[in-house]
């Protein structure tokens, strides 16, 4: 195997990992603030994908531009879900919370099936199979754009959480819900906000994947699993951890596919995952803090 | 349309009051109606719907009991057991995928229910000597051999790379493809199995590109075919021919991706321009009714249902007699000549002639074998 093949796989692995990271970040924020494990995460992403698909086919809005519409809409969608459903079970047993999110996910995917049938929708843009060539290495155009958008969003989100008052309030809620409440923080509102952010991230990830992947009502489940691996690997609740986790998973998948075989890549991913958990059970960046 | 059919059925019924075999028959149909295989499953369902209409015209009323297996073998098995024990069907048509069919096939002999598999490829299904299992379509080995035969008539390729999904369909097709390639003296340079539905094949394809193969042979259901071809274009993989093993490479969705589907060759059980009796007419009626073009799965399911219902009705719905009727019968319809024979280790297998089609100017054209070809194959492959 030549060096250029390896380099190619590293680059595409990084780019794919960037989008994985975005899915993981959404999940990790929701867990960090509410301690709720969101099993509907992949299905929220599916909603984002359909939104992108219809914005493109009906209104002709480019998928990457439509992120500007998808993101706020998905934020509202998530906030509503939190306000109507999740807020009611915040003090319930964890298994009840899990049942609720699984149920919400099932309702979403089955409603999508009723409304749009189980047909695969394929979003074809003029750049769906275009690439830039750089000294023998080809860089996928849609993937590169998604990666850049992901970077911008991650940096923006990090700045928001670290530097703004609201961000600080969210972090305080994540650290100690009751203490935050005693300090005059409206923790219910913070929960709504963070679930909104989490689902906006998932929806955006859906929008970014749509031009190179395909869309169907059950598309979410595969990504829910991936999101879990990413967040647990990075440390539940850590944004940097989720970013790192996403890129690591992307890289490992891609590099092990060329060095070993594509059949074994998932084995390698899960072996590394278990190894990390054995050595550092809380995950790479895990302190259970945002 | 419906009224017309109803009217013609009524006329038939009045005109032929004395048809003794017009007894109602109960037939089961197991299919992937929902789930990831649903887009192909829809073709089977539609094919069966058309078959029922035509059977009605012939005076055969079918009580169809549809079961959805969502593409999962365990559900398929449960559906078959329900049909066999509770619904008391005369015979079962289906299921679609290889994994589901091989699970169900093992039970057909146990319940002594004739099972006619319309479109599943895995060879073992008809290799275990099951008495009650019949298969209409050609098994996996033909998927690859017909493609390589087609290429052999144009060129003498030296190397071949395989990329395929890690399912029953993928692995069994490629296993025989490898044996056939060896026989023809084509050297295998890559063997890459992938997890169905993966979003990223770029590194695997780059690896294949570095081996510079003459032929790239792919086996995928539905949309992975599109992802694979998109990413092949992205990284600039350009062999002399892309060969697709049926399924995902024969759908209207694949055809619609003009940028990447052009010149891709694929093996298929049926095309709409083949000279088998009623094939063109079937395609025309199907397109008019469902506003979509049929894939080979639709034709397979149509013919399977016609054969099963006719045989069952002739034998008064008796399972053993129906089984013997299938074994002894001979048909010539939209799928060409059909006869369930024992040969080369197969039992009750229709030795079906597969075809090769190629996307040319946004249309599937039959290019092999010469007897059925409508256009000459374009070779070598070039990206549009």
Rg for chain B (alpha carbons), in Å? 21
pLDDT tens digits, one per residue of B148-167: 999 999 999 999 999 999 88
> What pLDDT does residue A289 have?
45
Q: How many CA atoms lie within 13 A of A36 on its CB side?
A: 30
Q: Is there a contact between B224 and B197 (Cβ–Cβ < 8 Å)?
A: yes
Nearest CB neighbour to A138, from listed B42, B223, B235: B235
Residues 21-40, chain B: which have Cβ within 8 Å of A? 34-36, 38-39
Give the residue on A whose Cα is nearest the Cα of B253.
A122
Length of chain A in terms of residues written: 290
Residues 211-250, chain A: which have Cβ within 8 Å of B? 212-214, 216, 218, 222, 250
Residues of chain A positioned with their CB less than 8 A from the CB of B230: 128-129, 212
| Confidence band of A76 (pLDDT split at 50, 70, 90) | very high
To the nearest whole Å, the CA of B170 is away from the closest chain A CA by 12
Could you give all domains of chain B from N- to C-terminal order, each with its CATH number?
Answer: 2-138+274-350 (3.40.50.2300), 141-268+355-368 (3.40.50.2300)
How many domains does one find in chain A? 1
Give the residues across from B83 on adjacent strands: none
DSSP string, B300-318: HHHHHHHHHHHHHHHTTT-
Q: Is there a contact between B336 and B330 (Cβ–Cβ < 8 Å)?
A: no
Interval B194-204 mean pLDDT: 87
pLDDT tens digits, one per residue of A269-278: 999 999 998 9
Task: Say whether B199 and A254 touch across the interface (CB within 8 A).
Answer: no
Q: Is there a contact between B236 and B257 (Cβ–Cβ < 8 Å)?
A: no
A95: contact with B, CB 8 A cutoff? no
A286 in a structural domain? no
Question: What range does the domain containing A61 cover?
Answer: 3-279
> What pLDDT does residue B12 have?
52
A290 in a structural domain? no
Residue B121 corresponds to which tokens in the numbers above? 């490829």
Q: Is there a contact between B56 and B17 (Cβ–Cβ < 8 Å)?
A: no
pLDDT tens digits, one per residue of B336-377: 999 999 999 999 999 999 999 999 998 899 999 999 998 999
Between residues A244 and B221, the one the model is more confident about: A244
To the nearest whole Å, the CA of A258 is away from the closest chain B CA by 6
Nearest CB neighbour to A16, from listed B200, B222, B227: B200
Q: What angle do CA B233, B273, B41 make, to 5 degrees?
A: 65
Q: Residue B37 contacts by C-beta under 8 Å, 6 or more apart in sequence?
A: B71, B96, B97, B221, B222
Interval B229-239 mean pLDDT: 92
Q: How many CA atoms lie within 13 A of B66 on its CB side?
A: 14
| Confidence band of B262 (pLDDT split at 50, 70, 90) | very high
A289 in a structural domain? no
B152: contact with A, CB 8 A cutoff? no
Residue B341 corresponds to which tokens in the numbers above? 């024979």
pLDDT at A4 exceeding the cut of 90: no
A199 in a structural domain? yes
> What pLDDT does residue A56 have?
95
Q: Is there a contact between B199 and A16 (Cβ–Cβ < 8 Å)?
A: yes
Asked if the bond preceding B95 is cis, omega within 30° of 0, the reply is yes
To the nearest whole Å, the CA of B241 is away from the closest chain A CA by 19
Give the per-residue SS3 of A223-288: HHHHHHHHHHHHCCCCHHHHHHHHHHHHHHHHHHHHHCCHHHHHHHHHHHHHHHHHHCCCCCCCCC
Whether the complex's predicted ipTM surpasses the cut of 0.85: no
A118: contact with B, CB 8 A cutoff? yes
Residue A104 corresponds to which tokens in the numbers above? 């919400």
| Confidence band of B18 (pLDDT split at 50, 70, 90) | very low
To the nearest whole Å, the CA of A161 is away from the closest chain B CA by 31
Nearest CB neighbour to B166, from listed A122, A214, A263: A263
Give the residue on A whose Cα is nearest the Cα of B237.
A138
> What pLDDT does residue B9 have?
56
Q: Which residue from B342, B369, B376, B383 is spatially nearest to B134, judged by alpha carbons?
A: B342
A179: contact with B, CB 8 A cutoff? no
| Confidence band of B23 (pLDDT split at 50, 70, 90) | low
Nearest CB neighbour to A5, from listed B36, B163, B206: B206
Cα(B260)–Cα(B382) distance, integer angstroms: 10
Q: Is there a contact between A265 and A7 (Cβ–Cβ < 8 Å)?
A: no
Mutation target vs B (from A14, A53, A257; most B CBs, 10 A cutoff): A257
Q: What is the DSSP letter of A93?
A: -
Q: Which residue from B313, B337, B339, B344 is spatially nearest to B326, judged by alpha carbons?
A: B339
Q: Residue A60 contacts by C-beta under 8 Å, 6 or more apart in sequence?
A: none
Residue B113 corresponds to which tokens in the numbers above? 């229910």
Give the residue on A whose Cα is nearest the Cα of B165.
A263
| Confidence band of B21 (pLDDT split at 50, 70, 90) | very low
Cα(A199)–Cα(A220) distance, integer angstroms: 13
Give the residue on B whose Cα is nearest the Cα of A259.
B207
CB-defined contacts A:B, below 8 A: 110
CATH code of the domain covering residue A75:
1.10.3470
Residues 247-266, chain A: which have Cβ within 8 Å of B? 250, 253-255, 257-258, 261-263, 265-266
pLDDT tens digits, one per residue of B118-146: 999 999 999 999 999 999 999 988 999 99
Helix spans in chain B (H)? 2-15, 38-57, 73-85, 98-111, 140-152, 168-184, 202-211, 224-235, 252-256, 258-261, 279-290, 296-314, 319-328
Cα(A155)–Cα(B361) distance, integer angstroms: 46
pLDDT tens digits, one per residue of B29-49: 999 998 778 888 999 999 999
To the nearest whole Å, the CA of B16 is away from the closest chain A CA by 41
Task: Say whether B200 and A266 touch across the interface (CB within 8 A).
Answer: no
Mean of the per-residue pLDDT values for chain B? 91
Cα(A42)–Cα(A206) distance, integer angstroms: 9
A285 in a structural domain? no
pLDDT tens digits, one per residue of A181-205: 999 999 999 999 999 999 999 999 9
Q: What is the DSSP letter of B122?
A: -
| Confidence band of B7 (pLDDT split at 50, 70, 90) | low
């Amino acid at each position: 195997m030549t060096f250029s093949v390896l380099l190619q796989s590293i680059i595409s692995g990084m780019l794919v990992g960037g989008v994985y990271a975005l899915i993981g970040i959404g999940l990790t924020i929701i867990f960090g603030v509410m301690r709720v494990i969101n099993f509907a995460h992949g299905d929220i992403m599916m909603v984002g994908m359909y939104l992108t698909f219809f914005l493109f086919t009906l209104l002709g809005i480019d998928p990457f531009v439509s992120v500007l519409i998808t993101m706020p809409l998905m934020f509202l969608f998530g906030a509503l879900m939190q306000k109507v459903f999740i807020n009611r079970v915040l003090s319930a047993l964890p298994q009840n919370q899990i049942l609720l999110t699984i149920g919400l996910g099932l309702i979403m995917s089955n409603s999508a099936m009723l409304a749009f049938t189980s047909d695969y929708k394929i979003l074809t843009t003029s750049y769906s199979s275009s690439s830039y060539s750089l000294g023998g290495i080809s860089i996928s155009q849609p993937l590169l754009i998604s990666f850049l958008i992901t970077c911008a969003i991650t940096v923006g989100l990090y700045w928001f959480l670290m530097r703004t008052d609201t961000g600080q309030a969210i972090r305080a809620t994540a650290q100690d819900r009751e203490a935050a409440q005693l300090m005059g923080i409206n923790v219910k509102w913070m929960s709504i906000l963070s679930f909104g952010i989490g689902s906006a991230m998932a929806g955006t990830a859906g929008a970014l994947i749509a031009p190179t992947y395909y869309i169907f009502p059950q598309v979410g489940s595969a990504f829910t699993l991936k999101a879990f691996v990413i967040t647990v690997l990075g440390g539940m609740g850590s944004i940097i951890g989720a970013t790192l986790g996403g890129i690591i998973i992307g890289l490992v998948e891609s590099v092990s596919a060329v060095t070993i075989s594509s059949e074994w890549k998932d084995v390698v991913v899960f072996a590394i995952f278990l190894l990390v958990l054995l050595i550092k059970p809380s995950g790479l960046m895990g302190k259970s803090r945002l | 349309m419906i009224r017309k059919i109803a009217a013609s059925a009524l006329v038939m019924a009045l005109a032929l009051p004395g048809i003794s075999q017009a007894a109602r028959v109960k037939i089961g149909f197991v299919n992937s109606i929902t789930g990831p295989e649903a887009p192909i499953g829809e073709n089977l369902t539609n094919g069966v719907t058309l078959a029922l209409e035509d059977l009605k015209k012939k005076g055969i009323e079918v009580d169809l009991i549809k079961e959805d297996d969502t593409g999962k073998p365990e559900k398929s098995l449960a559906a078959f057991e329900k049909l066999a024990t509770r619904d008391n069907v005369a015979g079962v048509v289906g299921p679609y995928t290889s994994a589901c069919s091989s699970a169900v096939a093992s039970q057909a002999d146990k319940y002594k229910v004739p099972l006619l598999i319309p479109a599943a490829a895995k060879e073992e299904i008809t290799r275990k000597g099951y008495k009650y299992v019949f298969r209409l379509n050609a098994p996996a080995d033909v998927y690859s051999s017909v493609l390589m035969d087609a290429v052999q008539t144009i060129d003498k390729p030296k190397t071949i790379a395989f990329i395929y999904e890690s399912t029953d369909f993928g692995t069994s097709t490629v296993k025989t493809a490898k044996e056939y390639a060896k026989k023809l003296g084509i050297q295998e340079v890559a063997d890459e199995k992938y997890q169905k539905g993966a979003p990223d094949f770029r590194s695997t394809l780059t690896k294949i590109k570095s081996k510079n193969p003459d032929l790239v042979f792919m086996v995928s259901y539905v949309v992975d075919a599109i992802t694979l071809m998109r990413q092949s274009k992205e990284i600039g993989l350009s062999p002399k021919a892309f060969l697709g093993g049926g399924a995902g490479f024969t759908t209207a969705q694949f055809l619609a991706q003009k940028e990447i589907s052009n010149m891709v060759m694929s093996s298929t059980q049926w095309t709409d321009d083949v000279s088998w009796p009623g094939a063109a007419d079937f395609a025309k009626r199907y397109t008019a009714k469902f506003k979509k073009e049929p894939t080979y799965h639709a034709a397979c399911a149509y013919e399977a249902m016609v054969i099963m219902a006719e045989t069952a009705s002739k034998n008064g719905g008796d399972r053993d007699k129906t089984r013997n009727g299938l074994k002894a019968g001979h048909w010539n319809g939209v799928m060409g000549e059909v006869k369930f024979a024992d040969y080369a280790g197969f039992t009750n297998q229709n030795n079906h002639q597969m075809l090769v089609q190629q996307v040319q100017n946004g249309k599937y054209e039959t290019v092999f074998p010469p007897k059925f070809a409508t256009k000459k194959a374009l070779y070598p492959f070039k990206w549009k």
